[in-house]
Amino acid sequence: MHVHNYEKLWLGASLLLIVGFISTIVYGAAGAGITMVNDEGGQVNPKELGNTSGFDDPGVTKVGPNEYEVHIVALQFAFQPGTVELPANSTVTFYVTSRDVVHGFEVAGTNANTMVIPGEVSQITVEFDEPGEYGIVCHEYCGAGHHSMAAELIVREPSNFTMQDDTQTPTSGNETTNATATPTGGESA
């Protein structure tokens, strides 16, 4: 087959680009340790979240010296809880699921970003090194009020951080009605 030498050169350059792109991604995974959200979160029944460990009482749980778990329920049109507070220099695993339709979960200004699909649990572990205030937005169209679906994430200096109240701990005797609390993230201008 006749191919001009210049085009052969370009073919080589194109393959170099492709291999370069794939290598960069592999570096990101193996070198920088970036992990894709995957099937580790398992499945839940979206109508039974009130009886599902973790999602029955969404919020922050301390599980180790600098390790926290955050359970978040996405629903039309809010996140529960509407405010998440965490200390800096912590490793945080988010477990996010939906009570109704497909939602998105994006901590704006960071790479913490995942789809939220009813029946599936999105499990992502993120390290927060610096204090700061972030917005969490739903980036997947989820119905007529989609644009009002947001929450906030506050990363505090460790010295300023205390677990907000006892209901956030697994040992709490609080009712599980929180799972159906009024949306709090909603009032957009």
Check residue 9 for interaction with another protein (CB under 8 A).
yes
Beta strands, E only, the chain: 59-64, 67-75, 78-80, 83-87, 90-98, 103-107, 113-116, 122-128, 132-137, 150-156
Q: Among residues 62, 101, 169, 178, which is the contact residue for another protein, using CB under 8 A?
A: 101
Q: Which is nearer to another protein, 63 or 108 (CB)?
A: 108
Site for another protein in 135-174 (CB under 8 A): 135-148, 150-152
Size of the site for another protein (CB under 8 A): 89
Amino acid found at 18: I
Q: Which is nearer to another protein, 7 or 166 (CB)?
A: 7
Check residue 52 for interaction with another protein (CB under 8 A).
no
d(CA 121, CA 138): 16
Check residue 37 for interaction with another protein (CB under 8 A).
yes
Q: Which is nearer to another protein, 10 or 174 (CB)?
A: 10
CA atoms within 13 A on the CB side of 111: 8
Piece in contact with another protein (CB under 8 A), picked from 30-38, 55-63, 157-165, 170-178: 30-38
Question: How near is the Cβ of 167 to another protein at its closest, in Å?
Answer: 22
CA atoms within 13 A on the CB side of 186: 12
CB 86 within 8 Å of CB 161: yes
Q: Among residues 20, 165, 174, 176, which is the contact residue for another protein, using CB under 8 A?
A: 20
CB 90 within 8 Å of CB 67: yes
Q: Which is nearer to another protein, 59 or 118 (CB)?
A: 118
Strand pairing category for 150-156 and 83-87: parallel
Piece in contact with another protein (CB under 8 A), picked from 17-25, 54-62, 156-164, 166-174: 17-25
